[in-house]
Amino acid sequence: MTEKRYSPSCENNRLPILAVLKSALKDSRHLLEIGSGTGQHAVYFAPALPHLNWQTSDLACNHPSIQAWLGDMPAPNLYQPVVFQVGADDWPVSQVDCVYTANTTHIMQPHEAEIMMQTVAKELPSGGVFCQYGPFTINGEFTSQSNHDFNQHLLNEGCGGIRDIAELTRWAGELKLAEQQPMPANNFMLIWRKP
């Protein structure tokens, strides 16, 4: 039985995400991915961004899938996952100038999302970039009925639910929201920069 898991949404959204990352991270060199999930994003993005050293991370239970994807689609700038749970583990890398996370913020409990924003703000150097992808509300309003329904599903499953961009901004400390890019399927890419 293979450990390799597959997420259709990872395949569906990877092209538009990559287009944003190519622009936002063109001057970056060392990336930490928070919540690498299945591993699909990492194996697709790292070879397309060869100037970046791409460090995967996730809970230990997700490492077998990430390792399986990396084993099938290795890249010289793509690194085996490290254990990292926001709020529970120490920051896992010594050198980082950019952070990427996709579809994690709404899984986290609110206090975990707050810790993530504060920790990324603290750990990024001046000029660092944080690319945060997923569904968000704007001024308390859902951008679609499907996101409203999805949020109810998340809450029923015990997840923290979709966060509001204003809420994230309050938690972000030194990070400034430089871009709020609308993405397919009622998602956004939030690009935070540390002055």
* pTM (2 d.p.): 0.97
- Is residue 88 a part of any domain in this protein? yes
SS (H, E, C) 120-189: HHHHCCCCCEEEEEECCEECCECCCHHHHHHHHHHHHCCCCCCCEHHHHHHHCCCCEEEEEEEECCCEEE
Domain that holds residue 31: 8-193
Mean pLDDT (the chain) is 96
- Is residue 1 a part of any domain in this protein? no
| Residue found by looking up tokens 């970039």 in the block | 129
CATH for 77: 3.40.50.150
CB within 8 Å of 41: residues ≥ 6 apart: 10, 14, 17, 33, 102
Examine the pLDDT at 1 and tell me if it is beyond 50: no
- Structural domain total, the chain: 1
Q: What is the mean pLDDT of residues 159-172?
A: 98
Residues 84-124 pLDDT 10s: 999 999 999 999 999 999 999 999 999 999 999 999 999 99
| Residue found by looking up tokens 């299945």 in the block | 38
Residues 36-66 pLDDT 10s: 999 999 999 999 999 999 999 999 999 999 9
Question: pLDDT tier at 2 (50, 70, 90 boundaries)?
Answer: low
- Using only C-alpha atoms, the chain has a radius of gyration, in whole angstroms, of 16
Do 127 and 192 form a contact (C-beta atoms < 8 A)? Answer: no
